Structure 1
Amino acid sequence: MEYMIGVDLGTTSTKAVLFDDKNQVVTSANKGYPLYRDVPDMAEEDLNEIFDALIEALTDVVRAADLKDGDKIAAVSFSSAMHSLIAFDKNWKPLTRVITWADTRAVKYTEELKSNGLGAQIYKKTGTPIHPMAPLSKLLWLKEEHHDVYENAAHYLGIKEYLFHRLFGSNKMDISIASGTGLFNIFNLDWDEQALTVTGVTKSQLPKPVEPYEYETNMVAEYAAVIGIPADTPFVYGAGDGPLSNLGVNAVKPGVAAITIGTSGAIRVVADEPVIDPKGRTFTYALDKDHWVVGGPVNNGGDVFRWARDNMFDAEKSTAALLGEDAYDLMTEIASRIPAGSEGLIFHPYLGGERAPIWDANARGSFFGLNHAHTRAHMLRSVLEGITFNVYMVSLALEEVVGGLKSIQATGGFARSPLWRQMFADIFEQPVTVPEAFESGSLAAVIVAQKALGKIDDLYEIEKYVGASNTYQPDPENFEAYRELAPIFIRLSRQLQTEYENIANYQRKHSK
């Protein structure tokens, strides 16, 4: 038996999934780690915690495989969260923790880029919207506010590149991850000269861009022994989690959108060449040089539902724990008792600022329309609807850029919830299809590995392995409520944007 492992490097956990030679899941292991928010707008991870999580997850699935004589792990391949940044000195000593996509401390320098026109010029070449999430802005922040780090930094990597460097001594970055840095020219597939000039960073400080099909062998013997695999096992670079999510649910044909809601979320479609939005609202990231994923990411997805659980449904959370049940299942059952539209209660889910569609790191969440009749259950349903309305706003911008959407493939934690699936179908007025395989990102990473090793000819082979699916049709009874509320949600988000900076500054001033 030849097995392959797909690794999903996430914001709060790393998952390793073992696939057999028919691309069926054998077992998986998931290891979590904290996201550090020591000061306002910070969102960092510890390098050693993530490295240990990777080693432990790989070790667990290799042991579970119980390899017999003749069995082997043919490859390990990666899907990775994008936009992270780590600075190293000339001896490869880390100078920072992992500064993640969710870190918005570079908001001041992002606004300066937008106001002086340089941001628009760079976006048109890099396809990465100007936002504090991107390493482009993070580098400007380091330069101005942590100049000692900036001056001593000889190398910059993201989290996946750090893991490869530690395992293999390499210094490379796949073009998918590179295309989300704001520093990479998506038309000539190299680091962009203007972006480098603006940040003051040189090519020598950045990793070598490579195709997602590049792989490393000759792992450090100590780590190979711990994991329990030969040191020459190919480790394939793979791609960013967004592009691979599209591949993983077979959303690669024109007009087929993939919606992912995990901690954060996104809606994306695939094009055969980079597509730039004249208004700068959408991203264009590489899957590989022949497949480009166009879409918009949202900061506020499942983490907002978690906030609601922890702050409004603590009793239910405790009850579910005692009964061995999932608190989220209990909460969605409560929300399902409330009619579509939450009887006029609207929630803007911007607890962590927002990327698409408003690209405002100062954005803040709010309930609008509260009256005496509203209960916790109304608030809960409005939270779910608010997250969904926000993704719907992104889809409207996306349709302007790439044309109409024909269907939606759903993945991520929300895809497990029948209520949420139906809500997406109703608000979008589109069928929502949920593939049976939930490990879509890891499966896509394995498909990339198979192409890298010459086992398949093209990525479309994944269609054979996505498996059965469930399709949720829009419910006409809910159209009227959502058709009335959606324009109010959109107009309100624009009106509130005039005050987001003021309230964000107040919070920064008075937060403990």
Structure 2
Amino acid sequence: MAQTVKNEKCFLGIDVGTTTIKAVLCDRDARVLAQANRHCPTISPDLGRHEQEARLWQLYTVDVVRSALKDLPSGYSVAALSLSTQGGTMVPLDADFRPLQNAVLWKDVSCTEDRMAIEAILPQGYIYQQTGWGPNRGLNLLQIMRLCRENPDLFKATHYFASVPDYMNYYLCGRFAADHSNAGINQLGDVVNKVWDEKLLQQAGITVEQLPELVDSGTVLGTLTPQAAGDLGLSTDVLVVAGGHDQNCVALGSGTILPGSTSIGSGTAWVVLAVTEDQERLSRSGFSFSRHVIDDTWTSMISLSTGGTYLEWWRNHLVAASELPPFDLIDAQVEVSLDLADELLFVPSSPYSFTGAHNLPQGATFLGLDEKHQAYDLARAIMEGVAFQALLNLKRLNNGWPERITFTGGATKSPIWPDIVAAAADRPLILPEVKDSGAYGAALLAGISTGYFSDLKELSDMLAERGTIIEPQPYRLTNTVRRFALYKDIND
């Protein structure tokens, strides 16, 4: 049964992430009313290859939206919705917009041959200057080239080459459209001129007609189709608003909105992000850059792509226990280890790196390790090392230290990790009130685009005021501060 129309309007944000689909409903005061999430499995058919069933994005979106609506207080109806999406994922579609195979995920790294081929043809730096993202071993451009090389029959049968936002927008409102922040990470769009790049399309062997319409984030695309409205339990009057790449929606949801604001997002990847109006400086910086979901602003990013996996590696390989220790136990033991006046460092990416016992992730190393160290000392070193590297990335990205730092993601659930970041940076941290910042940012974007939250500075200040402030405590973490100084020395 469709949702009954009420007097109070609210906004729906949907985050179609790599491993989780989330929904958040917020009111006109930006307060969360209800939320839900569901795990979305991925598939690894071969080494370096990562896929996902595209139909699950639609099915699980229906599931989480209906779950959230069950908890929505009476008196509210959804006025508009928007999407936060993983970027750089490609799915080939037939003429009726149905998937012809599994989607190839952004983290797929099986396109080395195609990267070498295109770099031999295009001028050096061309892909980065046009799209804001340097050549990788995956993402849509190279994924399409690999499809043509490995499966030419399927390539010829493909009518449209879709990514997550345009696939979902077509389902929701019947409009095959993508935003510019996603067009950039797809490495097919000219993000400065807001068009598909003809030279990149030529290298991929495709035409503009096979790609979605490009629109600004915040564009009202239409209203829910009867099919989508019935599936979701919503009215056909609900507006569908073009969303953005998940990192940009996380930035909006955490209050990283105005030029000069910065954030560190902690998850599988630790992503440092800054907002600016100076696109020309960004294109000279070498950092990944993208159009923000807010008009006339840009975001630049540095990603420590495996930052969140190191502690999981430690749990799986270095703990002599019958079962994995809970994170509250890890925090308690690490807090004791913080008092050690040693020089044990963990370097996530180092010229001294090696791959040794227990399959230590390649590119990472421990320095100063000796026989006196216990397992939880290594956990402490990992937590410090990931925080230290993120802070150095932030300083590079921001060309100096910001006055304050917004800290989001899974590490904010730890009582120790935010203290480490604040003490090393000697800056206060803001931990946003809403933890699922991607879906929440999409909900705020839906509100902004329909006339609410029009004062962005007021919105940014309000989100900061609602967050938790973590003041630096260098006097309590003197050893952490000293180890950060050592870490900076080895990175100079």
- Look up the match of 1:444: 441
1:247–1:219 Cα change, 3 Å: closer
For residues 202 and 175 of structure 1, what CA distance do their matches in structure 2 show? 18
Q: Displacement, 1:399?
A: 3.5
1:468–1:395 Cα change, 3 Å: closer
Task: Please give the per-residue CA displacement for 1:35-67, whole angstroms capped at 9, x wherever unaligned.
Answer: 222311122222222222111000011122154
Q: Identify which of 298, 302, 315 aligns with 2:304.
A: 298
- Look up the match of 2:216: 211
- Look up the match of 1:308: 314
- Look up the match of 1:353: none
Task: Please give the per-residue CA displacement for 1:390-448, whole angstroms capped at 9, x wherever unaligned.
Answer: 32342243145xx5533211111112222111222233343322233323333322221
Q: Identify which of 59, 62, 65 aligns with 1:58.
A: 65
For residues 138 and 458 of structure 2, what CA distance do their matches in structure 1 show? 33
Task: Please give the per-residue CA displacement for 1:366-399, whole angstroms capped at 9, x wherever unaligned.
Answer: 4444322222112212222232233234224314
The alignment covers a number of residue pairs equal to 469
Q: Identify which of 220, 241, 244 aligns with 2:246.
A: 241
For residues 363 and 112 of structure 1, what CA distance do their matches in structure 2 show? 26
Aligned amino acid, residue 77 of structure 1: S
For residues 316 and 397 of structure 1, what CA distance do their matches in structure 2 show? 42
1:404–1:124 Cα change, 3 Å: farther
Q: Given that residues 287 and 300 in structure 2 are in contact (C-alpha distance below 8 angstroms), is that contact kept between their aligned partners in structure 1? A: no
Q: Displacement, 1:461?
A: 4.1
For residues 480 and 286 of structure 1, what CA distance do their matches in structure 2 show? 36
Aligned counterparts, 1:9-20, within 5 A: 9-20=16-27
- Look up the match of 1:184: 189
For residues 437 and 101 of structure 1, what CA distance do their matches in structure 2 show? 26
- Look up the match of 1:483: 485
SS at match of 2:486: helix
For residues 138 and 302 of structure 2, what CA distance do their matches in structure 1 show? 13
What's the TM-score once normalised by structure 1's chain length?
0.83
- Look up the match of 1:358: none
1:164–1:200 Cα change, 3 Å: same
Greater relative CO (CA pairs within 8 A, separation 6+): 2
1:342–1:366 Cα change, 3 Å: farther
Identity %: 23
Task: Please give the per-residue CA displacement for 1:451-502, whole angstroms capped at 9, x wherever unaligned.
Answer: 22123435334225411431231515132221112333x37xxxxxxxxxxx
Task: Please give the per-residue CA displacement for 1:230-262, whole angstroms capped at 9, x wherever unaligned.
Answer: 123112222112122222222234433111012
1:397–1:252 Cα change, 3 Å: same
- Look up the match of 2:404: 407
1:88–1:262 Cα change, 3 Å: same
1:241–1:125 Cα change, 3 Å: same
- Look up the match of 2:377: 378
For residues 99 and 171 of structure 1, what CA distance do their matches in structure 2 show? 19
Query: Are positions 1:31 and 2:38 aligned together?
Result: yes
* Stretches of structure 2 lacking an aligned partner (at least 5 in a row): 1-7, 350-360
For residues 163 and 388 of structure 2, what CA distance do their matches in structure 1 show? 31
Q: Displacement, 1:123?
A: 1.0
Q: Displacement, 1:207?
A: 0.4
Q: Displacement, 1:279?
A: 5.8
1:162–1:257 Cα change, 3 Å: same
Aligned amino acid, residue 129 of structure 2: K
Q: Identify which of 65, 82, 87 aligns with 1:82.
A: 87
1:45–1:365 Cα change, 3 Å: farther
Q: Given that residues 255 and 407 in structure 1 are in contact (C-alpha distance below 8 angstroms), is that contact kept between their aligned partners in structure 2? A: no
SS at match of 2:36: strand
SS at match of 2:68: helix
For residues 369 and 163 of structure 1, what CA distance do their matches in structure 2 show? 50
SS at match of 2:252: helix
For residues 279 and 341 of structure 1, what CA distance do their matches in structure 2 show? 38
Q: Identify which of 65, 72, 75 aligns with 2:77.
A: 72
* Stretches of structure 1 lacking an aligned partner (at least 5 in a row): 321-326, 351-361, 492-512
Q: Displacement, 1:174?
A: 1.2
Aligned amino acid, residue 302 of structure 1: G
Q: Given that residues 128 and 283 in structure 1 are in contact (C-alpha distance below 8 angstroms), is that contact kept between their aligned partners in structure 2? A: yes
- Look up the match of 2:397: 398
1:72–1:267 Cα change, 3 Å: same
Aligned amino acid, residue 434 of structure 1: L
- Look up the match of 1:389: 388
Q: Which stretch of structure 1 is more off in the superposition, 369-378 or 48-57?
A: 369-378
Q: Displacement, 1:340?
A: 7.1
- Look up the match of 1:453: 450
CA-atom RMSD in angstroms: 2.8
SS at match of 2:56: helix
SS at match of 1:336: helix
Aligned counterparts, 1:83-162, within 5 A: 83-114=88-119, 118-162=123-167
1:391–1:152 Cα change, 3 Å: farther
Aligned amino acid, residue 62 of structure 2: I
Q: Given that residues 172 and 225 in structure 2 are in contact (C-alpha distance below 8 angstroms), is that contact kept between their aligned partners in structure 1? A: yes
For residues 462 and 214 of structure 1, what CA distance do their matches in structure 2 show? 20
Q: Given that residues 344 and 381 in structure 2 are in contact (C-alpha distance below 8 angstroms), is that contact kept between their aligned partners in structure 1? A: yes
Task: Please give the per-residue CA displacement for 1:260-299, whole angstroms capped at 9, x wherever unaligned.
Answer: 0122221111112424343633333432441111121231
